[in-house]
Amino acid sequence: MGKIEAVLNLEQIDLDIFRGPVIETSLQRTFGGQVAAQALVAVTSTVDGDKDVHSLHGYFVAPGRPEIPTVFLVDRLRDGRSFSSRTVKAVQNGQPIFVMQASFHRRDDVGPEHADKMRDVPMPEDIEPEYDRLSPTQKLLLSEWSDWDIRIVPQDQFKHNPYTPSQQVVWFRAKDRLPDDDTFHVCTLAYMSDMTLLTSAMVPHPGVQVQEASLDHAMWFLRPFRADEWLLYDQVAPSAEGGRALTKGKIFNRDGDLVAYVVQEGLTRLLRPGAEGVPTRNGTFYTK
């Protein structure tokens, strides 16, 4: 997978029309976080600098082909005093692969404040990666995400909510120093937010082989953060049924501030006998 600076470097080819670069990958389908992050770059480029994105809602309507560029078509829905709204369609060969709506809010509004607290977990430096215990797919994805430091907290090292059947806690950050630009870090976190979240639905089902794919993705940006500093991704999967799983994730900075919230529904369809999932471009297949 390419450097995040290359992933987010969109070319403007006309007013409100952008083109994303081809990013080298071993995966046969474009990583969903890449498409969402590039779509966010496109819409952000059309909004005045006095507003920041506070939410996005997207649907993955078709698998992307990583070997060809993606074109992003932005529609300016509204520019108000406090809020701006945009939609964007990601297109390959004339067909949409992803659609998203994003909302932007002025920076200087004030109001009451509160937030959930971060659960008590080991610090990332205290977590020893257990590479040998990962599934082939997890190993493949970690090799794709080699620019990111991802540390899954062992299940016996955090207190579980007894009313939530599927829980997973992950520390992650960009390994390299990223540009000092708030928008860049927001778009980077949109990319990162698709990492590991759907796998949280499989925690109660070890060894079960499924086809996984993101179906939709919603995200709220709550407080400032840096994507090259440690962030804790507290993930739960409230439901899995009918080949789909609903997942949610709270993202905290190391100081315990809640900086973002993510909700995603994904495909968790049982593999047919003899079928395999997560194809790579060289024809090798991996299963969860």
Task: Provide the residue type at 238 as one letter.
Answer: P
Task: Provide the residue type at 131 as one letter.
Answer: Y
Task: Provide the residue type at 134 as one letter.
Answer: L
Cβ atoms of residues 56 and 94 within 8 Å:
no
Q: What is the DSSP letter of 209?
A: -
- Secondary structure, 3-state, 41-104: HHHHCCCCCCEEEEEEEEEECCCCCCCCCEEEEEEEEEECCCEEEEEEEEEECCEEEEEEEEEE
CA gap 79, 96 in Å, rounded: 25
CA gap 275, 193 in Å, rounded: 28
Active-site positions read 194, 214, 264
Tokens linked to 273: 């006998």
Cβ atoms of residues 245 and 237 within 8 Å:
yes
